[in-house]
Structure 1
Amino acid sequence: MSAPRYDVLAIGNAIVDVMSPCEDELIEELGLARGGMMLVDTDRAHELYEAMGPAREISGGSAANTLAGLSALGAQCAFIGQVADDQLGEVFAHDIRAVGIDFDSPARPGPPSTARCLIFVTPDGQRTMNTYLGASQFLPAEALDEGLIASAAILYLEGYLWDPEQPRAAMRKAIAAARAAGRRVAFTLSDAFVIDRHGDDFRALIDAGEIDILFANKAELAALTGEADLEAGLAALAPKLPVLVVTRSEEGAVAISGGERAEIAAEPVEHVVDTTGAGDLFAAGFLAGLVRGEELGRCLKMGAVAAGEVISHFGARPEADLRALMKVRLG
């Protein structure tokens, strides 16, 4: 097997986040699922945007955020995702390349427009996300470069993108290419609603040994296994995966690999400003440790440090020097 060109190559939604602080009352008034993520159509996206106060536009997307964290930690990364040939598409492409990530997916001409996520952030830092998938749901399988996928040590897939038909086919093709090249496949479940719609697919992939590293939170673990109890869920799933990582918000995280179990507490954060991207950056820190051959507990700690940084400010991508922060927190 040849040495990998990239540490991690990710396939995910190419989204620009539109973020605005709001009061809890607005969440209720708009009938939103507080703290969750909903898919919205064009009309609903316009309605929600009109209801927003002053907003910031920041390139996002779950897998792209993870790569931004990985790149900040010195990893070599590439991204595959679909934007439209429009202003937001140019913003996304510029931002991801500016942090050192290779992104060569050609823009899609004509409608629909580049995806955007309208995020309402309440005073406690909780984020309520409303995603218009736009062009991102039209990533064709034939656009994948199998040689590029084979050149990455880890293929990282975003569960959110499993919903639309075209990118789901593209990700299946990517999994086959990665496995044929002897590379590892990492998958993040993204949200319980994705599991409600596609849990059978995910369980089949796991049972077939197609996933090497799985990221989930407590709710996603319960939805996937049918076990409300955390320990029961871990016991049901861990034996089927080389690496299982489960985050528990303020309760920290646990990882199980080859019978080894590690747990860490959440990083202390003086003031939680915005929880957008916490799981994405946790995955970034964990994977950064994994590709360097760090032991399981240290990988978890790196994930917690990265997540703690991103929830201390608006936006789902790191603002502090993550490498310097790791030295302070981990030594």
Structure 2
Amino acid sequence: MTSLICGSLAFDTIMAFHGRFSEALLADQLHKINVAFLVPSMRREYGGCAGNIAYNLKLLDGEPLIMATLGQDGDSYLQRLKALGISERCVRSVPASYTAQAFITTDAASNQITAFHPGAMAYSHENRIADAGPVKLAIIAPDGRDGMLEHARDCAELKVPFIFDPGQGLPMFDGAELRQFIELATYVAVNDYEGEMLTERTGLSLEQIAQRVEALVVTRGEHGAHIFTGGKRIDIPCVPVDQVVDPTGCGDAFRAGMLYGLTQGMDWPTTGRLASLMGSIKITHQGGQNHAPSVAEIRERFQQAFGYRYP
């Protein structure tokens, strides 16, 4: 069952700061900040929300279809998608731009500061949902501003159910635009910080947002997740790990679990638990696409964590 993944494809330059940002920033001097962080380690990874979600969905034996844009430097990403068996037929190449680039610095407490160059993402609105063909479910993840707005309207017009996942793109939209996304969406997925920003900008409480969609999912890091659906809240536990290595892409792994569970007809407790497990698997590896458990390994870890097997 094909899942359409609208969002960014990007190259991530990931750096590690061995201290804590809070120790280097003075709260009363943030209006004239001038600070440098020594980052002894640096690496370049394949990333972007669409790429990360598709990668994790493929691990689950799902059927991801990416709708995104790449720049003049994107050939290696196209070759990677082909090698992974992920369709690139809805990926548009924009020769006049660079592929989107994220520069991510993570401190010792797993806090992150990210600088992002959108590049080819600015042309995401040139992609058309109708070109994807039949899909079971879509997700509108962070992408070019115009593309996110247009893809949401197109999904609604074509009656394609979709998850609205504003992520780091949330600040691009005002309250009226965010309320429009919510009205058009079937599901909304945010982390706890984004949830607070969403309620502040829309003037709607989490409960009011949940009333307008089939489910509102709020991830809470090491505290698991809350799923608001059918007038109740389902608490999803976090799956403990021996070592937290890199949080980059954990939210995307969680959303891949959501897509798989929903397209397979799983109930929300099982869908949420599978999503939580995918996030925990990812966080023990560097980068957003370097973990590679088999389907059998994922199923075994699910049973170990929750005491039953998912369908």
Alignment TM-score > 0.5, same fold: yes
Name the counterpart of 1:106. 92
Give 1:169's aligned amino acid.
D
Give the alignment partner of residue 123 of structure 1, picking from 105, 108, 111: 108
Name the structure 2 match of 1:218: 192
Query: What does residue 307 of structure 1 align with?
Result: 279
The structure 1 residue matched to 2:136, chosen from 144, 153, 169, is 153
Residue 52 of structure 1 and its aligned partner are, at CA, apart by 4.8
What displacement does 1:20 show?
2.2
CA distance in 2, matches of 1:135, 1:196: 17
- Paired residue for 1:64? 51
Moved more, 112-121 or 247-256: 112-121
* Whole-Å separation in 2 of the counterparts to 1:145 and 1:225: 28
For residues 150 and 20 of structure 2, the distance between their equivalents in structure 1, rounded to whole angstroms, comes to 44
Does 2:179 match 1:203?
A: yes
Name the structure 2 match of 1:44: none
Matching of residue 82 in structure 1 with residue 69 in structure 2: yes
Deviations 1:106-154 (A, max 9, x none): 32123x322211112223343332211122222243x425131x41111
- Assess, with a 3 A threshold, how the Cα gap between structure 1 residues 147 and 82 changes in structure 2: closer, same or farther: closer
Task: Give SS of 1:56's match.
Answer: strand
SS at match of 1:55: strand
> Which residue, 147, 158, 172 being the options, matches 1:170?
147
Task: Indicate the residue corresponding to 2:32 in structure 1.
Answer: none
**TM-aligned CA deviation for residue 156 of structure 1:** 0.9
- Structure-2 separation of matches of 1:261 and 1:295: 14
Q: In 1, Cα distance between the equivalents of 2:105 and 2:207? A: 36
Give the secondary structure class of the aligned counterpart of 2:92.
coil
Deviation at 1:249, TM superposition (A): 0.9
**CA-based RMSD:** 2.8
SS in 2 for 1:24: coil
Q: CA–CA distance in 2 between the matches of 1:125 and 1:94?
A: 31
CA displacement at 1:212 relative to structure 2: 0.3
Would you say 1:19 and 2:3 are equivalent positions? no
- 2:209 matched to which residue of 1? 237
194 and 179 in structure 1: CA distance in 2 versus 1, 3 angstrom threshold? closer
Q: Flag structure 2 segments of 5+ consecutive residues without an equivalent.
A: 28-35, 304-308
CA contact (8 A) 1:196 1:223 kept: no
CA gap 1:212/1:64 in 2 versus in 1, 3 angstroms: same
Report the CA distance shift for 1:216/1:109 in structure 2 as closer, same or farther (over 3 A): same
CA shift for structure 1 position 248:
0.9
Distance 2:6 2:23 in 1: 34
Report Cα offsets for 1:169-199 as digits up to 9, x if no partner: 33333334333333201111203x7247434
Q: Is 1:281 the counterpart of 2:267 in the alignment?
A: no
Give the residue type in structure 1 aligned to 2:241.
V
What is the letter of the counterpart of residue 108 of structure 1? V
- Could you tell me how far apart the structure 1 residues matched to 2:50 and 2:232 are? 27
Residue 146 of structure 1 aligns with an amino acid whose one-letter code is A
CA offset digits 1:276-300 (Å, max 9, x no partner): 1111111111221111011110000
How many angstroms apart in 1 are the aligned matches of 2:157 and 2:267?
A: 27
Identity of aligned residues (%): 24
- 1:249-301 deviations in Å (ceiling 9; x for gaps): 11111112233532121110111111111111111112211110111100000
Report the TM-score when normalising by structure 2: 0.84
Q: CA separation of 1:322/1:66 partners in 2, compared to 1, >3 Å: closer, same or farther? A: farther
Map of 1:38 onto structure 2: none
Q: Counterpart amino acid of 1:298?
A: T
Contact 1:75 1:288 in 2 (8 A): yes
Q: 1:212 to 1:127 in 2, by over 3 A?
A: same
Shift of 1:51: 6.6
Q: 1:76: how far off? A: 0.8
Does the CA-based 8 Å contact 2:5-2:54 persist in structure 1? Answer: yes
Q: What amino acid is aligned across from residue 71 of structure 1 in structure 2?
A: K
Q: Find the aligned partners of 2:99 and 2:154 in 1 and give their Cα distance.
A: 27
- Specify the code of the residue in structure 2 equivalent to 1:19: I
- Is the CA contact 1:221–1:233 (under 8 Å) kept in the aligned structure 2? no
